[in-house]
Amino acid sequence: MFTTGPGAKDFLELNQNIPSGDELGILAPDGFPWFVVFEFDEVGYVKDDEKGSLDAKAMLETIQRGTENANKEKKRRGWTTVSVVGWIRPPHFDNDTHNLEWALALKGEEGGLTANHNTRYLGRRGVMRVNLVVDSNEMDKVLPEFRKVMRSFHYTPDNSYRAFVKGDKIAEYGLTALVVGGAAAAASKTGLLKSMWKLLVAGVLGIGALIRKLLGSRNSEENPEVSS
């Protein structure tokens, strides 16, 4: 199932996740055992010169701070909060595909662990942000299915990373900033970071009450002896 931008925004809010405003759509199988959020950031060509110096420890600390700031907004809305437990897989840049991948473990206020598997597909004119959200216990099982689905995703030849030519727009930040939230790096240089908490929580999404209810209903149907 797929819904475009407006539906994606509504879906995220129903599950107590703060939308970024850049959502292109959400993809999910029937029953919502997992879902994928697609966003495109037209920032230009992101150089890969940080690929050998990614500091996982520093990036995790930045993401955790940003998530705590976002939790203040969640509390204001009456939503449950999440905390970032740590890396499931630290950031890794693939030289062949020009993709940046990492996975985080999140803990919800009500308990239970959620996995966020993030992929950044670098292109000539920007970055496609793809976030797989799934129960942490299911990630290893779901990941092959997700990868199979994403085989059909690619930039057109003129928009691929390798199509870059001199004179194209260059992004103001690099790979580290893609992990911690895109323009957060630029914001930190101008002193605006505190007011730009949204930029620091890119890729930090929880499985909200609505999804858990759907999962519970599905499990009850599959296992009639289980009481709710």
pLDDT score, position 163: 97
Query: Is the confidence at residue 141, as pLDDT, over 60?
Result: yes
pLDDT grade for 199, boundaries at 50, 70 and 90: very low
User: Burial level of 40, CB count in 10 A (0-12/13-18/19+)?
Assistant: middle
Which value, in Å, is the radius of gyration of the alpha carbons in the chain?
18
What is the rounded distance in angstroms from the CA atom of residue 191 to the CA atom of residue 213? Answer: 41
Q: What are the C-alpha distances in Å from 122 to residues 1, 35, 50, 55, 202?
A: 25, 21, 14, 20, 16
Domain spans of the chain? 2-217
Query: Which of 33, 43, 203, 207 lies closest to 130 in space, CA to CA?
Result: 203
Query: Is the confidence at residue 206, as pLDDT, over 50?
Result: yes
DSSP string, 133-199: EEEGGGHHHHHHHHHHHHTT----GGGBGGG--TTS-B-SS-HHHHHHTTTHHHHHHHT-GGG-GGG
pLDDT score, position 211: 64
